Structure 1
Amino acid sequence: MSAPYPLVIVNLLLGFLGVGKTTAIRHLLGHKPANERWAVLVNEFGDVGVDGKVLGDTGIVVKQVAGGCMCCASGPVTRVALNQLIRQERPDRLLIEPSGLGHPKTILALLQDDSYRTVLRVQSPLTLVDARQVVQSRYQNHALYVEQILLAGALVLNKSDLADSHTQRAAEAWLATQRPEVALFTVEQGQVDLDWFLNADESPRVSVATQAATAELPVLDWRSIPAAPTAEQWVRAERNADGYFSVGWRMPAQTVWRTHDLLAWVHSIHAVRLKAVMCMDDGWRLINVVDGALSIVSFPAQQEAVLELILDHALDSKEAEVELRRCTLVN
C-alpha cells in the first residue's frame, strides 16, 4: 500500500504478562503533544479483551485484535486493523501493545514488510519489565520473555515502588548481563517518557518464517462496542497456545458481584493473570491480578462487564462459571 502522507511513527511497547503495558500506554496518551494525531492497536491473548475498555475513555482511537499473538493466528486480522487505522485515522504516531505472550520478532517482521516500507517508520521497541519477575529463573529461562528483552531499544524497569532494594539491584544486574548496551530506566506506575522512544534508533530489520493463519478473528473498535449481553446471557470464550490457557466472559452490566465472595473466587483460581472490569457491591472496579498480587481501583460504569483469566494450567470453565455466578447478588 502507498500513501501521500508522512510516514506513521510506530512505537511498540513490549513486556510480559502483568508488567503494566496498558498503564504505560494510558500515561503516554495523557502526555500526547497537542499537535499530533495518535492511534492505538492493542493485542490480547484471550478472545474477550479487557485492555480496549481500559483505554477506551482516553479520546484516542483504539483498535483491538483479540485471540492469540497478533502475528500468528491473528496475522491477517492484524493487517486489516493496521490498514484501517492508517487509512481512516491518518495518525502521526501509532502505539502498539502486543500481548505479553506475543512473538515480538514476528510482530516486527510484519511491520517491516515491504508493503509498509513507504508507510511506517518503526522505532526500536521499549520493553517493560517488573523486577519481581526478572529475578525469577522461570522468567529468565522463558524464550518469549528473553526475546522481548533482546529486541528492546531501551528497557523500562516498571513498578519500582513494589520491589525491595535487593530485588531491584538483582534485576538490574541480570538485565545488564543481557543488554549492557541499552538504556535502563526505572519508573513507577507506567510513567514512560515519550523521549525514550524518540531517542531510540530505528528498529533493526528482522526476518522470520511466515506463519500461516489458523483462525479468522474479529477486530473490535471501541468507539462502537458490540451489543452487550442480554440480562440473562453470559458469553464465554476460551483459547490455549504456547502452554497457556485463557478463559474470558462478557456479562450484563446490571450484574453485581459481592466483593468478598468474588475475591475469594479470584484467589482460588490461581491465574497467572486476571483482568476484569465489573460492578461490585460498592461500584464499578478495574481488577488486576499478577502472580497472585491483587489490585482494585475505581472505574467508570460500562455497557457490560468483562473478565479474562490467563493460566498455566487447564481449567474446567463451566465449573468456574458456576462458581463465578454464585458470587453475584442475584444468581
Structure 2
Amino acid sequence: MTKTNLITGFLGSGKTTTILHLLAQKDPAEKWAVLVNEFGEVGIDGALLADSGALLKEIPGGCMCCVNGLPMQVGLNTLLRQGKPDRLLIEPTGLGHPKQILDMLTAPVYEPWIDLRATLCLLDPRQLLDEKCLSNENFRDQLAAADIIIANKSDRADEDSRQALDKWRVEQGEGREVVFATQGNIDGAWLDKPRENQRELPASVEHSHAHPSSRGLAALSLAQNQRWRRNLNHGQGYHACGWIFDADTVFDTIGLLEWARLAPVDRVKGVLRIPEGLVRINRQGLDLNIETQNVAPPDSRIELITQNETDWNSLQAALLKLRLSSQV
C-alpha cells in the first residue's frame, strides 16, 4: 500500500514550497510521487516540482474531481499501478474542495492501494483577516477537513493575524495540531500522523469550472512550431490566464519582475527563462517572492489568477514586449 497525504491550502498559502521541502527530506531508498492539480491551464507547479526527484502527474485546469472525478482517477491509477510509489502527496488547487477528493481516496476500490494518512492544510494566518477568504466555502472546508494545520509564513505574521489564528483555534480548531512554519519548512514526520479527522463535509455548491477546448494534458505543452499560447479558465468566482512560451524565448529580467509586481491580480506564479538562466516568481497579493538559478527551464510559463474582471489583452501586450528574443 502507498502511504498517501492530501496537502491542501488556499491560493498562495505555500503548498508547492512545502512539498519541495518534504521531498528534500525523503529517504533516498523510497520512491515518492506527487499528483498535482491547478486552477489554471498551463501547469506551473509541475515546472516547479520537475527536478524534485519524485514521480509527477499533473491535472491542469480546475478541480481534481471535475468530470465525475475522471481526471483524478486516471492520474491516481497511473501513479499507483505503474509507479508503485512508497508515498504519494496529492496537491489540489487552492480553489479545490476537499470532500470529493477524500471521498475518492477512501472508496472501497482504493482500499488495497492507499494507506491514507493525515491531511495537512497550509494556512497563511493573514488570510483569517481577509473577508474574501473567510466567505469562501473552499477555504473554510479545507481547514475543516485537515488533521494538521500548517500556519505558514509565520515570519510575516503580525499581532492581528496571530490573534485571528488564536481565535480560530479556540472556536474551530477542536484540538487539532497547529504547526508554525516559514517558507513551508516542516518536519516530514508529520506525514506519518494518522488520519483522525472524520467529520462529514458538505459538497461544494460552487463546484463548477469553465474549461476551454484545450483543457487536459494537452494544455501542458505547445504544439509543434508554436512559439507561445494563452489559456483562460474561470469558475468559483475566479478568473485565470496563463501563457506558455517556447524554449527560445528569453525575457528581460527587471521588466518581467516589474510586470509581475504591478499586475492588477491576486496571484502570480511562473517559471521563466531570463538571460541569467531562470526566475521563479510567486506573488500572493502584495507579497512577491523571486528565486533565480543559472539553469534554463525547458520552456517559460506564467499564470495569473484574480477575482476581478481583468484586461488580459493589455497584460499580454506588455508581457510580449519584454521578450528579448523570439519576437514572433
Specify if TM > 0.5.
yes
Distance in structure 1 (CA, Å) of the matches to 2:257 and 2:30: 41
Deviation at 1:292, TM superposition (A): 2.1
CA contact (8 A) 1:19 1:128 kept: yes
**Greater mean alpha carbon deviation, residues 237-246 or residues 67-76:** 67-76
**Greater mean alpha carbon deviation, residues 44-53 or residues 121-130:** 121-130
1:34 and 1:186, CA in 2 relative to 1: closer, same or farther beyond 3 A?
same
Tell me which of 216, 220, 224 is aligned to 1:218: 216
Deviation sequence 1:10-48 (CA, Å, 0-9, x none): 101110001110010001101112332211100100010
1:229 and 1:305, CA in 2 relative to 1: closer, same or farther beyond 3 A?
farther
Distance in structure 2 (CA, Å) of the matches to 1:208 and 1:79: 21
Tell me which amino acid in the other structure corresponds to 1:113. A
Deviation sequence 1:268-315 (CA, Å, 0-9, x none): 422211111112344310011101211110143111100111111223
Identical-pair percentage: 36
Tell me which amino acid in the other structure corresponds to 1:309. L
1:228 and 1:281, CA in 2 relative to 1: closer, same or farther beyond 3 A?
farther
Is 1:318 matched up with 2:293?
A: no
What is the Cα-based RMSD across aligned positions, in Å?
A: 2.6
SS of residue in 2 equivalent to 1:302 = coil
CA contact (8 A) 2:118 2:192 kept: no
Deviation sequence 1:248-276 (CA, Å, 0-9, x none): 11102222222333233323422211111
Listed as ranges, the gaps of 5+ residues in structure 1 are 1-6
TM-score by length of 2: 0.89
Is 1:98 matched up with 2:82?
A: no
**Greater mean alpha carbon deviation, residues 290-299 or residues 321-330:** 321-330
1:116 and 1:203, CA in 2 relative to 1: closer, same or farther beyond 3 A?
farther
Distance in structure 1 (CA, Å) of the matches to 2:175 and 2:149: 11
CA contact (8 A) 1:65 1:218 kept: yes
1:181 and 1:196, CA in 2 relative to 1: closer, same or farther beyond 3 A?
same
1:209 and 1:260, CA in 2 relative to 1: closer, same or farther beyond 3 A?
closer
Distance in structure 2 (CA, Å) of the matches to 1:60 and 1:50: 16
1:119 and 1:214, CA in 2 relative to 1: closer, same or farther beyond 3 A?
farther
SS of residue in 1 equivalent to 2:250 = coil
Distance in structure 1 (CA, Å) of the matches to 2:31 and 2:209: 31
TM-score by length of 1: 0.88
Distance in structure 2 (CA, Å) of the matches to 1:259 and 1:201: 44
Q: Give the corresponding residue for 2:120.
A: 126
Is 1:265 matched up with 2:259?
A: yes
CA contact (8 A) 1:44 1:68 kept: yes
Q: Give the corresponding residue for 1:3.
A: none
SS of residue in 2 equivalent to 1:181 = coil
Tell me which of 281, 284, 289 is aligned to 1:290: 284
Listed as ranges, the gaps of 5+ residues in structure 2 are none
Deviation sequence 1:100-121 (CA, Å, 0-9, x none): 0001111111112221122212
